[in-house]
Amino acid sequence: MSIDPIHDEVEATRLSFRDGMARLAAAVHIVTTDGPGGLAGFTASAVSSVTDRPPTLLVCLNRSSSVAGMFEKNRVLCVNTLAAGHEAMSKLFGGSTPQEERFAVGDWIVGSTGSPRLTDAIVSFDCEVESAVESGTHHVLFCRVVGIAHGSDDGEALIYFRRRYHHVR
C-alpha cells in the first residue's frame, strides 16, 4: 500500500496554499460598486457561480482592503469579466491607485443597481448583495444577479495562471 504524498507534507502553510492556488487558472474580473458608500472597484479572480435558481454569484473581498467598507455600505456590485486587452486595467484596479483615477480608464456606464459596468467586458453581472459571511481574512459575498450584459463573442478572455496573465478564446 502506498502513502498519499499530500499527507507526507508537514502541514499546509500560507505560502504553500498560495503557490497551489497560483496553479488554478481563473478568469480576471473588475468588481465595481457605487452608492452611499462611494464609488469603488477592485480586481478579483475569486468569483464563482453559486446557482442559476435564482442566479447567484459568490465574490470574495479582503476585509482589510480600502474598498471593503464601501461595498458593505452600498450592498450592490457589478462583476465585469475582462477581455484580453484589459491587462493594464486589471493592474490599475489591483493596485493603490485612487478610486476616482481607476474609473478614468475604460468606457463605463451605470448598470441598473447603480454600479459601473465596463462596456467592453466579456460579460457583466449586475448584482445585489444578499448576504455576506466572514471567513478568515475575507468577506464572502453572495450576490443575486439582477442584470446581465453580454459582450462580443469574438474576443479572448483574460485569465490569471501561475502569477501571469494569459488569453483564451
Ramachandran sector of residue 96 (left: φ over 0; alpha: ψ -120 to 50; beta: rest):
alpha
Per residue of the chain (169 residues), what is the pLDDT tens digit? 555 555 445 467 888 888 887 888 899 999 999 999 999 999 999 999 999 999 999 999 999 999 999 999 999 999 999 999 999 999 999 989 999 899 999 999 999 999 999 999 999 999 999 999 999 999 999 999 999 999 988 889 999 999 999 999 8
Q: Which three cell numbers stand for residue 88?
A: 493594464
The predicted model scores a pTM of 0.90
Boundaries of domain holding 116:
5-168
CATH value at residue 128: 2.30.110.10
Parallel/antiparallel/unpaired status of strands 55-62 and 26-27: unpaired
The strand pairing partners of 58, in sequence order, are: 48, 142
- Split into its structural domains, the chain has a count of 1
